[in-house]
Structure 1
Amino acid sequence: MRIAAPDILLELDGRTFSLRPSLGAAIRLAYRYDSFTHVMKGVAEGRIGVIANVIAETSARPLSEVRAALAPPLNRCLFPAIEACVAVITALTDLGGNDGESGNTGTPMSFTDAYQHLFEVACGAIGWTADAALSATPAQIIIAYKGRVELLKAIFGSAEDEAPKAPHFERDEEGFAALRAMSLSGANGGA
Structure 2
Amino acid sequence: MKLGADGIYVELAGEAYELRPSLRASMRLVRRHGLTGLLAAVQGFNVTIIMDVLREAAISPKLLLADIAAFGLGTVRNRLTGPLAEFVLAIAGIDPDDTAPAPSGKPIDPEQAFAKLFGIATGWLGWSPEEAWNATPAEIIAARNGRVDLITDVMKAVFGTTEEQTSIAIYTPDQLSQIEEGGHDPAFDREGYAALKAKLLSQRTR
TM-score by length of 2: 0.66
1:12 Cα deviation after fit: 2.0
| Structure number with higher helix proportion | 2
What is the aligned-residue identity percentage? 30
RMSD of aligned C-alpha atoms? 2.9
2:17 match: 17
Give matches, 1:35-54, under 5 Å.
35-54=34-53
- Where do 1:157-176 residues align within 5 Å? 159-160=168-169
2:48 counterpart letter in structure 1:
G
Q: 1:100 to 1:124 in 2, by over 3 A?
A: farther
CA distance in 2, matches of 1:22, 1:13: 24
Cα distance change on mapping 1:108 and 1:13 into 2, 3 Å: same
Structure label with greater radius of gyration = 2
Query: Which range moved further: 135-144 or 148-157?
Result: 148-157
Offset at residue 99 of structure 1 (A): 4.9
Q: What secondary structure sits across from 1:109 in the alignment?
A: coil
Inter-partner Cα distance in structure 2 for 1:49 and 1:5: 28
Relative distance call for 1:161 and 1:18 in structure 2 (3 A) is closer
Distance, in Å, in 2 between the alignment partners of 1:110 and 1:83 is 25
Structure 2 Cα separation of the partners of residues 29 and 38 of structure 1 = 10
CA distance in 2: counterparts of 1:108 and 1:19, whole angstroms: 25
- For residues 28 and 85 of structure 2, the distance between their equivalents in structure 1, rounded to whole angstroms, comes to 17
1:128 Cα deviation after fit:
1.1
Deviation at 1:81, TM superposition (A): 1.5
Aligned to 1:152: 151
Following TM superposition, by how much is the alpha carbon of 1:68 offset from its aligned partner in structure 2, in angstroms? 3.4
* 2:80 maps to 1:81: yes
- What's the CA shift for 1:160? 4.4
TM-score, with length taken from structure 1: 0.71
Q: 3-state DSSP class of the match of 1:20?
A: coil
- Call closer, same or farther: CA 1:47–1:113 in 2, change over 3 Å: same
Whole-angstrom distance in 1 between the partners of 2:132 and 2:120: 9
Aligned match of 1:3? 3
Secondary structure at the aligned position of 2:17 is classed as strand
Q: Which runs of 5+ in 2 are unaligned?
A: 157-166, 174-206
Task: Report the count of equivalent residues.
Answer: 159
| Letter of the 2:73 counterpart | L
Could you list the per-position Cα deviations for residues 146-169 of structure 1 after superposition, in whole angstroms to 9, with x for gaps in the alignment? 1111112222358448669xxxxx
**Shift >6 Å, 4+ stretches:** 104-107
Distance across 2 between alignment mates of 1:25 and 1:118: 14
Matched letter for residue 66 of structure 2: A
Task: Supply the distance in 2 between the matched residues of 1:119 and 1:137 (Cα, whole angstroms).
Answer: 10
What is the aligned partner in structure 1 of residue 181 from structure 2?
A: none
Aligned to 1:63: 61
Deviation, structure 1 residue 135:
1.1
Q: Identify unmatched segments of 5+ residues in structure 1.
A: 165-191
Q: Which residue of 2 aligns with 1:94?
A: 93
Give the 3-state SS of the residue equivalent to 2:6 in structure 1.
Answer: coil
Higher relative contact order (CA 8 A, sep 6+): 1
Correspondence for 2:127: 128
Question: 2-side partners of 1:112 and 1:43: how far apart?
Answer: 20
Conservation of the 8 A alpha-carbon contact between 1:95 and 1:142: no
- Give the secondary-structure state (helix, strand or coil) at the position aligned to 2:5: coil
